[in-house]
């Protein structure tokens, strides 16, 4: 066997042998990366069109962010929140500035920030709205994805996420995403919050219908219900604005951030709200040993400055419009293989006709041609490159996608010709 291929196989084999089988990675072994490019252990180059689900929105190893991490590593990394530090305060101040919320509570992963939001909503529902403790209810959308803790999967509508992991704690009612009548039907006097994504990413990059969030905002205000916006994937420039809720002309009562907040280096998340909501927390009511640690705060602060000072958010909408247009050109060339191209900013879902093939099939073919993407729900390929991507790299990526799509389209046409049946 070829020595290089043996090296690739050995890394894959070790993960398969010693790791839990909770992922099915594309067969690429990443060795190093820089900005929007990734190289495998064989030295082969790939265009990163996934950016680790928005975690690498700044590009891999942005030099300013790496330098900030190195400076902090020479001082102190973790002390726990038992003491004050020199980096957390400035990060919280910057978060308040960019989000418009008065306070932020730092955590590590996005799921932890969602759990924080759930705890906050329940205590707010009891102490402020007056719902009897234990009866607080939170409305969630069908097709949601807010993380993988036992509480969160308990209100997922995906059987694969729930099967065998019960019992679940309850306290959640479902509504149909984008449907206000469904929201109203699901509500009760004990409803204290609506937890929702501004765009449903894992469901296939589902964009809400126009006006839905304005109606939802008005309804929440009228019924003393918190509107909690989960922007773990959508936030910090991904959709062409700092936050996806800004497209809807509304302001939620609370905001959940993660992924890009860690600037491609560390897991960093935050729950943001005004005093009237955040007041329910008191010493010992919630915490995290690593949440808001000195190193994470230094990295996140520099990441926010990079987004702002290098205009990454400002240019995202233009880049997203361009990429969307180019992908729709490919769609027109290979119908019926692609049935939809949708999204906002640099977050685009390409919906594959399931009678033609699976999204995974095309994702693996794209990887073989030097483009990294990821499927969701068997029918959608997600394209979400770093915000630093250039037009030249987007053109290269689209040409790879066009080549793969045409090859698959030709295979389908050949199969139809052999079978003598219509496409």
Q: What is the pLDDT of residue 418?
A: 74
Are 125 and 16 contained in the same domain? no
How does strand 45-48 pair with strand 37-40? antiparallel
Residue that finishes a domain, picked among 287, 309, 331:
309
CATH number of residue 278's parent domain: 3.40.640.10
Q: Which residues are catalytic?
A: 145, 230, 259
What's phi and psi for 224, nearest 5 deg?
50, 55
The answer to whether the beta carbons of residues 152 and 117 sit under 8 Å apart is no
Are 51 and 144 contained in the same domain? no
Other CB atoms closer than 10 Å to residue 181's CB: what's the count? Answer: 9
Stretch (H or E) spanning 105: strand 103-107
| Contacts within 8 Å (CB) and 24+ apart, 103-106 | 103/272, 103/273, 103/274, 103/275, 103/278, 104/270, 104/271, 104/272, 105/270, 105/271, 105/272, 105/278, 105/281, 105/286, 105/291, 106/268, 106/269, 106/270, 106/288, 106/291, 106/292, 106/296, 106/297
Per-residue pLDDT tens over the stretch 6-27? 689 999 999 999 999 999 999 9
Name the band, by pLDDT with cuts 50, 70 and 90, for residue 416.
Answer: confident
The closest of 374, 378, 375, 369 to 398, measured between CA atoms, is 369
189-213 residues labelled b (16+ CB within 10 A) or e (exposed)? ebbbbbbbbbbbbbbbbbbbeeebb
Q: What is the pLDDT of residue 361?
A: 98
Name the band, by pLDDT with cuts 50, 70 and 90, for residue 4.
Answer: low
The residue segments making up the domain with residue 269 are 63-309
Mean pLDDT of the chain: 96
Tokens 């500035």 -> residue? 97
The answer to whether the beta carbons of residues 237 and 384 sit under 8 Å apart is no
Per-residue pLDDT tens over the stretch 364-411? 999 999 999 999 989 999 999 999 999 999 999 999 999 999 999 999
Q: What is the pLDDT of residue 196?
A: 98
Torsion of CA 252, 253, 258, 261, to 10 degrees: 80
Instruction: Please give the Cα distance from 368 to 414 (Å, whole number).
Output: 22
Q: What does the pLDDT average to over 204-226?
A: 98
What's phi and psi for 100, nearest 5 deg?
85, 5
Are 136 and 118 contained in the same domain? yes
Q: Which of 260-264, 345-349, 419-423 is predicted with the least confidence, judged by mean pLDDT?
A: 419-423
Q: What is the pLDDT of residue 6?
A: 67
Task: Name the percent of the chain lying above pLDDT 70.
Answer: 98
Are 23 and 94 contained in the same domain? no
Per-residue pLDDT tens over the stretch 247-306? 999 999 999 999 999 999 999 999 999 999 999 999 999 999 999 999 999 999 999 999
Q: How many domains does the chain have?
A: 2
Q: What is the pLDDT of residue 3?
A: 47
Residue that finishes a domain, picked among 309, 338, 372:
309
Name the band, by pLDDT with cuts 50, 70 and 90, for residue 169.
Answer: confident
Task: Name the percent of the chain lying above pLDDT 90.
Answer: 94
Q: What is the pLDDT of residue 370?
A: 98
Are 400 and 288 contained in the same domain? no
Q: What is the pLDDT of residue 69?
A: 98
Are 89 and 215 contained in the same domain? yes
Are 237 and 370 contained in the same domain? no
Q: What is the pLDDT of residue 179?
A: 98
Instruction: Please give the Cα distance from 65 to 266 (Å, whole number).
Output: 11
Instruction: Please give the Cα distance from 308 to 368 (Å, whole number).
Output: 35
Question: DSSP states of 213-259 as a string?
Answer: HHHHHHHHHHTT-EEEEE-TTTTTTTTSSSSGGGGGT---SEEEE-G
Give every CB contact of residue 167 below 8 A, 6+ residues apart in sequence: none
Are 44 and 140 contained in the same domain? no
Other CB atoms closer than 10 Å to residue 176's CB: what's the count? Answer: 14
Instruction: Please give the Cα distance from 239 to 233 (Å, whole number).
Output: 10
Q: What does the pLDDT average to over 112-138?
A: 98
Residue that finishes a domain, picked among 309, 325, 360:
309
Give the neighbor-by-neighbor strand order of the sheet with 338-343: 338-343, 348-352, 380-383, 374-376
Q: What is the pLDDT of residue 1?
A: 41
Are 11 and 145 contained in the same domain? no
CATH number of residue 10's parent domain: 3.90.1150.10
Tokens 């030097």 -> residue? 370
Supply the pTM of this predicted model.
0.95
At 79, list the tokens: 């002390």
Are 168 and 207 contained in the same domain? yes
Name the band, by pLDDT with cuts 50, 70 and 90, for residue 420.
Answer: low
Are 239 and 369 contained in the same domain? no
Packing angle, helices 294-309 and 63-73, rounded to 10? 160
Are 16 and 53 contained in the same domain? yes
Task: Sort 275 into a burial class: Cβ within 10 Å, 0-12 / 13-18 / 19+.
Answer: exposed
Q: What does the pLDDT average to over 349-372?
A: 98
């Amino acid at each position: 066997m070829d020595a290089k291929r043996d090296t690739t196989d050995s890394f894959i084999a070790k993960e398969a042998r010693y790791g839990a089988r909770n992922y099915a990675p594309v067969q690429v072994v990443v060795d190093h990366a820089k900005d929007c490019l990734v190289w495998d252990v064989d030295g082969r180059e790939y265009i990163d069109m996934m950016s680790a689900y928005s975690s690498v929105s700044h590009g891999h190893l942005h030099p300013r962010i790496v330098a900030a991490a190195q400076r902090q590593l020479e001082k102190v990394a973790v002390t726990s929140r038992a003491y004050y530090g020199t980096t957390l305060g400035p990060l919280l101040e910057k978060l308040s500035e960019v989000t418009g919320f008065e306070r932020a509570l730092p955590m590590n992963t996005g799921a932890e920030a969602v759990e924080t939001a759930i705890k906050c909503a329940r205590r707010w529902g009891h102490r402020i709205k007056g719902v009897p403790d234990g009866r607080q209810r939170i409305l969630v959308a069908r097709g949601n994805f807010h993380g993988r803790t036992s509480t969160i999967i308990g209100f997922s509508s995906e059987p694969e996420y729930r099967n065998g992991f019960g019992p679940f704690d309850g306290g959640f009612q479902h509504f149909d995403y984008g449907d206000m009548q469904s929201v109203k039907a699901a509500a009760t006097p004990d409803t204290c919050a609506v937890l929702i994504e501004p765009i449903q990413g894992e469901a296939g990059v589902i964009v809400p219908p126009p006006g839905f969030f304005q109606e939802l905002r008005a309804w929440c205000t009228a019924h003393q219900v918190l509107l909690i916006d989960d922007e773990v994937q959508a936030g910090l420039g991904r959709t062409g604005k700092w936050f996806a809720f800004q497209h809807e002309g509304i302001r939620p009562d609370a905001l959940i951030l993660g992924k890009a907040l860690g600037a491609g280096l560390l897991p960093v998340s935050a729950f943001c709200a005004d005093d009237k909501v955040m007041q329910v927390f008191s010493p010992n009511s919630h915490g995290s040993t690593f949440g808001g640690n000195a190193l994470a705060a230094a990295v996140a602060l520099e990441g926010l400055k990079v987004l702002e000072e290098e205009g990454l958010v400002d240019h995202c909408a233009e880049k997203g419009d361009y990429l969307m247009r180019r992908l729709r050109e490919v769609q027109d060339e290979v119908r019926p293989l692609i049935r939809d191209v949708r999204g906002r900013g640099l977050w685009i879902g390409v919906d594959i006709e399931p009678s033609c093939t699976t999204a995974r099939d095309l994702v693996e073919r794209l990887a073989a041609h030097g483009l990294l993407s990821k499927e969701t729900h068997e029918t959608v390929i997600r394209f979400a490159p770093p915000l630093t991507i250039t037009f030249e790299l987007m053109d290269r990526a689209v040409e790879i996608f066009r080549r793969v799509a045409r090859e698959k389209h030709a295979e389908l046409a050949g199969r139809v010709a052999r079978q003598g049946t219509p496409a």
